[in-house]
Amino acid sequence: MKCSRAKPSKTSLTVAAVVAAAAMAVCQWGFAQAPPGWPTPPAPPSLTSETGTATCPSTGCDIPGLTVPNGLTMCTAGPNTTLWPGTDVHDSTVFNRATQLCNYQALVPSGNGLAGTAINQSGIAPATWVYGPDQDLTAAQLAAPFWNPVQTSMAAGLPIYGTRVSTGTGYCSVAAYVAQKNDFTWVDERFSPLENSETWAFWANNAAVNGIGQPAPCALTNTMGIAGGVAARGVEGSSLDEREAQHDADGGAILFIRPVQSVRDAQEAIFWNFYPPFGHRSQGNTNGGGATSAPSAAGSYRDSFDRNAVVFAEIYNVAGAQAASGIAALDGIDGVYLDAENLAFQSGGGWFYERLVSAVTAAVQANSKYLCTANRAVTPNTMTCTLQTKLGAADIPNREWPLRRLDANGKPYVAKTFAANANAANREE
């Protein structure tokens, strides 16, 4: 049976009225009861979690080595007396990296469900590896302002605004930072012809790429988030793999929009876009944009990157909407970009689309994350992102943002609760 909103002709109005009254009870989402004498229709699928008998969807089950941070900071008991069990490697007052050893434990430490399990005597195992202190931020660096203006606004729960870049020649016209109007730009590498070879050129030189492929300066400073400086550099990618994530970040991006269809997809985005210990981005630094934007007070680019980076999960189809609750719950996903144009196309439009929008919006709100939408009616397109939890004046001073990462002690930040909406814990599906 097909459902239709077509207006009936006058000659069929009487019959149509009877049929429509019965059909409406079957066609509308959420109706659990059929008219008398009709078979009970199946319940609509849940959109709050991934369902089915498979362990996880085909979009990510076979990713090798995909792990979430284990949060371990303490050396554990080892096979000989040269080790230092119970010592926090991130506390320089008790741990001396020059004389003390760690990661030579013989048993899996307690607290992860595998206590007492024997492992390789060398202690090399992702589940038990205690990440070292080289990239720790000091207390002063943690208290320093963000060098990404998007993080600055998000810490206060303010709306953030961005502008799309779809041509190399158009960069200078939208590159300038304007507080609460143009906080970031996003290079569309998914739906425009742009790719890293062009993006790197205008980011590195703070310039537009002219008609013969040469950069033309934008007359802006290379510092993000100040008057006369550039907006935070963002990019919308078309894949989740290491190559795209590495090239975008190395090129100078600090805001990443990634298309996801599952919790596993979102975990992969986190996996490749953040530096260790939170993610697994490789050592590559940046070709110009980010390095000069990291003031010394905030720590080096490498050390402060995870604290300043922003990742938005782009939900654009039914599978993504189904997994929205789990996606929004992940630490490392700062917000969800609701790609309305594609979601309407993928869902069939109308009430079907509206059902998905409601599910995604509710998932984002329940996890106190940002919801982003694009305005396709203006040129260039713009994006608006708003926090889906209203903050009171007393909430803002206590708000810890980002709601993720490891602090100077190697321990995860503790998520705060606002307006009865708790930021759900990271989970793996």
pTM for the structure as a whole: 0.76
The mean per-residue pLDDT over the stretch 417-422 comes to 40
The mean per-residue pLDDT over the stretch 407-412 comes to 50
Q: What angle do CA 140, 142, 148 make, to 5 degrees?
A: 120
Q: How far apart are the first and last CA of the chain?
A: 35
Task: Name the helix (H) or strand (E) containing 215.
Answer: strand 215-217
Adjacent-strand bridge partners of 260: 315
Q: What is the pLDDT of residue 388?
A: 82
What percentage of the chain exceeds 70 in pLDDT? 66
Statement: residue 231 has pLDDT above 80: yes
DSSP per residue, 255-269: EEEEEESSHHHHHHH
Q: What is the pLDDT of residues 257-295, one digit of tens each?
A: 999 999 889 989 998 999 988 888 988 767 654 444 566
Question: Which structure tokens are listed for 115?
Answer: 């206590």
The mean per-residue pLDDT over the stretch 346-360 comes to 91
Give Cβ neighbours of residue 35 (< 8 Å, ≥ 6 apart): 22, 25, 26
| DSSP-derived pairing of the beta strands 421-422 and 417-418 | antiparallel
- Other CB atoms within a 10 A radius of the CB of residue 143 amount to 10
The rounded distance, in Å, linking the Cα atoms of 63 and 255 is 23
Give Cβ neighbours of residue 1 (< 8 Å, ≥ 6 apart): 23, 26, 27
For residues 428 and 232, which has the higher predicted lDDT (pLDDT)? 232
The mean pLDDT value of the chain amounts to 73
pLDDT band at 213 (very low <50, low <70, confident <90, very high): low
Residue ranges of domains in the chain, CATH in brackets: 72-130 (no CATH), 140-422 (3.20.20.60)
Contact criterion met (CB below 8 Å) for 71 and 411: yes
The rounded distance, in Å, linking the Cα atoms of 179 and 172 is 17
Q: What is the pLDDT of residue 81?
A: 40
> What's at 345, amino acid-wise?
F
SS3 313: strand
Q: What is the dihedral of CA 311, 219, 203, 303, to 10 degrees?
A: -60
Contact criterion met (CB below 8 Å) for 387 and 370: yes
DSSP per residue, 356-397: HHHHHHHHHHHTT-EEEEEETTSSS-EEEEEESSPPPTTTGG
Q: Which of 23-37, 185-199, 395-409 has the lowest mean pLDDT?
A: 23-37
Q: What is the pLDDT of residues 90-110, one digit of tens each?
A: 888 888 877 777 776 455 555
Give the closest residue to 182 by CA, choosing from 252, 255, 237: 255
The mean per-residue pLDDT over the stretch 194-215 comes to 72
Q: What is the pLDDT of residue 154?
A: 92
